[in-house]
Structure 1
Amino acid sequence: MTEEDITGIIKRSLVAGSIAGCSVDLLLYPIDTIKTRLQQKKSLTRGFLFSSLYSGVGSVLIGSGPSSALFFTAYNLSKQTIQFSSQWQTHMTAATLGEICACLIRVPVEVVKQRAQVNRNLSLLTITRSCFQNEGLFGLYRGYFATVTREIPFSIIQFPLWELFKEYWSTKQGYPVAPWQGALCGSISGGIAASITTPLDVAKTRIMLAHHSDIDAASHSFTVMKNIVKNEGFTALYSGVLPRTMWISIGGLIYFGAFEYVTSLFFSKKS
């Protein structure tokens, strides 16, 4: 792979990833807010569940584009430089490395965003300042390992399936998939991955929303899940599974559609 190839991959990934990340998060933010509120410990009223659904959206505007751009840059570079005998292994490894990098940006944004979603009267600045004062920098990275624990299983299901579906469709029709076809493949693979990994998402949400003196704040994902089953029952692990699956399925359509479309523009411009 030449230096020009690497530069091209980085440019495409940064631009397409940023547009894809911002598009999906802004359009589907209300569904994410409902999902987060359903997963918190506290009981909530119907009025609160559906009010101020864009609380904390400012954090998404700041972090969504960069984290998605970083993911696709690491993912696409890894696909080209790390080769296994099985494409499935290559895509799983690339997705893992992409998530580890992206979470460095995504986690602080997610912490502030989720606290804003359940504390609608507090500004992003107030939440961030409170986090620093009470917990230090660690507070903004609370749940990093829980997030990585959720994102890696999610991505090693979603991205290999996405690549597999695209390859199958391309082979069947005899030419590369169009952006809308890639988007549909992303929607289906995302929905499958979302439903399977919901318990990890519930655990991550509990850790991020916990008060710094709460036992959940310092717990690992599997410890939190064990406590949820013990105290609330097994079904509590799937709190918010419907909005999560719906959000990510629709999101996959937008996310991968935007990514595939912007990427296709780069290739058409090059040709």
Structure 2
Amino acid sequence: MSPVVSSSGKKESTVARLLGSGSAGIAELAVFHPVDTVAKRLMGNSTKIHNAAEFNAVIFKNYASASFGKKFFSLFPGLGYAAGYKVLQRIYKYGGQPFARDYLTTHHAPTFENAFGKGTGKAIMAATAGSLIGIGEIVLLPLDVLKIKRQTNPEAFKGRGLFKIVADEGFGLYRGWQWTAARNAPGSFALFGGSAAAKQFIFHLEDYNSASWYQNFIASICGASASLVVSAPLDVIKTRIQMRNFENPESGFKIIANMAKNEGPTAFFKGLTPKLLMTGPKLVFSFWLAQTLIVSISAGIG
């Protein structure tokens, strides 16, 4: 395929965008799936943890008193669903945002520049493109639902396979899509906007694609950290909706009311510290790798 000129400056090919983002998703899954399981189980836990034994019970569930090896491998549930979801999600998100950004650059760049100034406008445009792509990510929600249920509530499957669950549940697999969209819009805005702002204002780059691997790494840290903090409350609500048994769903508003009543306002940020320490590096790794590979593959094809 022919290359496209991105608003970042250098040419990026469509093939490079797809291959770079897909490779980042595969690498992220291979390295960080256990970390993601730990974060999801902490977010889904509605009780206070007082000691190591309770912590082990939350993280390892039925394997809390098992050997180290069994504990470790218990953190890999839902790997098949995770593979399908994560690779498609990274291709869609990291590969799709540049296309949305190019569209905004072609048709709306003067609007952003007049409103925010040239440099800030370019960063806001990248953030807006990310937000639009993040909202559309709900098409992949069923795979995310199945992955999270496998990680946090495997009893919900009751021996049913993938096709049986899809046939039984239908559009019920999209339960909580509004909360997912509400979480993805600001989260993706902060991810791409934070990265673009770092390149614009820390490294003073006119051409974002000229960033070195180190500059991409720092920019990814800024974007990922901002994204996790901004999306934390809605991410907790989304996770709790998705981990419920299929036959016993609960609305997001009811979850909010119960959390506020029984757990207090800090409950909406449960798992944030582990996410920053564990999920943060995962997001930084995949985002950095995707940005680096897209430019490298484009250069190789060119």
TM value normalised by structure 1: 0.84
Matched positions, count: 265
The corresponding residue for 2:51 is none
Deviation, structure 1 residue 196: 3.0
Q: Distance in 2 between matches of 1:248 and 1:9?
A: 29
Counterpart of 1:11 in structure 2: which amino acid?
A: V
Cα 1:174/1:192, change in 2 over 3 Å: closer
Answering whether residue 129 of structure 2 is matched by residue 98 of structure 1, we say no
Cα 1:21/1:125, change in 2 over 3 Å: farther
The corresponding residue for 2:175 is 142
Query: Is 169-178 or 96-105 further displaced after alignment?
Result: 169-178
Q: Say which SS state the counterpart of residue 160 (structure 2) adopts.
A: helix
Unaligned runs of 5+ in 2: 6-10, 48-53, 61-70, 114-120
C-alpha deviations, 1:18-73, integer Å up to 9, x for none? 11122223311112111211222565662451341111111111221122112233
Query: What does 1:118-267 align with in structure 2 at a 5 Å threshold?
Result: 118-120=152-154, 126=160, 128-129=162-163, 131-132=165-166, 134=168, 136-171=169-204, 176-214=210-248, 216=250, 219-220=251-252, 224-267=255-298
Unaligned runs of 5+ in 1: none
Q: Distance in 1 between matches of 2:45 and 2:287?
A: 33
Over 6 Å off, 4+ runs: 121-125, 172-175
Q: Distance in 2 between matches of 1:158 and 1:113?
A: 23
The corresponding residue for 1:46 is 56
Cα 1:174/1:78, change in 2 over 3 Å: closer
C-alpha deviations, 1:204-229, integer Å up to 9, x for none? 0111112345462xx24x55323311
Cα 1:198/1:127, change in 2 over 3 Å: farther
CA contact (8 A) 1:36 1:205 kept: yes
Query: What does 1:60-139 align with in structure 2 at a 5 Å threshold?
Result: 60-82=82-104, 83=109, 84-85=112-113, 86-105=121-140, 107-120=141-154, 126=160, 128-129=162-163, 131-132=165-166, 134=168, 136-139=169-172
Q: Distance in 1 between matches of 2:101 and 2:156?
A: 42
Answering whether residue 25 of structure 2 is matched by residue 14 of structure 1, we say no
CA contact (8 A) 1:75 1:95 kept: yes
RMSD over aligned CA atoms reads: 3.0
CA contact (8 A) 2:4 2:12 kept: yes
CA contact (8 A) 1:142 1:208 kept: yes
Q: Say which SS state the counterpart of residue 35 (structure 1) adopts.
A: helix
The corresponding residue for 2:66 is none
Q: Distance in 1 between matches of 2:299 and 2:220?
A: 22
CA contact (8 A) 2:198 2:222 kept: no
Deviation, structure 1 residue 174: 10
Q: Say which SS state the counterpart of residue 197 (structure 1) adopts.
A: helix
CA contact (8 A) 1:202 1:239 kept: yes
Larger Rg: 2
CA contact (8 A) 2:25 2:86 kept: yes
CA contact (8 A) 2:183 2:231 kept: yes
Counterpart of 1:209 in structure 2: which amino acid?
A: M
Q: Distance in 1 between matches of 2:297 and 2:13?
A: 10
Cα 1:124/1:56, change in 2 over 3 Å: farther
Q: Distance in 1 between matches of 2:188 and 2:79?
A: 24
